[in-house]
């Protein structure tokens, strides 16, 4: 039963990610910035050929390889953690984020990013990136919680 929930989390995040990216790509001009909350949050449309802050820009083959390896390892861990709901939620979010950006890289050769925090110097990100980040935070919580239980 829980494995079905993992699949639903992954599917929901990937679908939302792809829909938001499609909406942004069709409704916001490239590099245009639309303030949503002035001084705090904007929507923009950029193409990211690298990772955060455009590091490793243009290394598409590297991203293909590392993502496939990461997805295989993550799916293995997801299977191995059946019954540990916090691990499964975290890994499902991480898988969804990795897969959402992988779809862009395969289909477009770049990742569509759109969420811009105007009050700090932070990379523009997308739903998949947000899912990855939340997944990693939840994973740290799960590990910390497990370590406390074992102590």
Residues that are catalytic: 113, 129
Rounded to a whole number of angstroms, the distance between the first and last alpha carbons of the chain is 30
Helix axes 2-27, 127-150, angle to 10 degrees: 150
What is the layout of strands, in order, in the sheet containing 33-37?
Answer: 33-37, 41-48, 111-117
- Give CA 21 to chain center in angstroms: 12
CA distances from residue 68 to 62, 71, 106 in whole angstroms, order as listed: 10, 5, 11
């Amino acid at each position: 039963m829980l494995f079905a929930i993992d699949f639903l989390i992954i599917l929901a995040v990937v679908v939302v990610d792809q829909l938001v990216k499609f909406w942004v790509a069709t409704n916001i001009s490239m590099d245009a910035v639309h303030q949503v909350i002035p001084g705090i949050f904007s929507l923009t449309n950029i193409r990211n050929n690298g990772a955060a802050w455009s590091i490793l820009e243009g290394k598409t083959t590297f991203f293909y390889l590392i993502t496939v390896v990461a997805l295989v390892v993550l799916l293995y861990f997801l299977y191995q953690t059946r019954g540990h709901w916090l691990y499964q939620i975290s890994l499902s979010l991480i898988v969804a984020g990795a897969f959402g950006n992988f779809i862009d890289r395969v289909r477009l050769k770049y990742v569509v990013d759109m969420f811009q925090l105007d009050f700090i110097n932070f990379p523009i990100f997308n739903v998949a990136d947000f899912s990855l980040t939340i997944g990693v935070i939840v994973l740290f919580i799960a590990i910390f919680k497990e370590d406390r239980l074992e102590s």
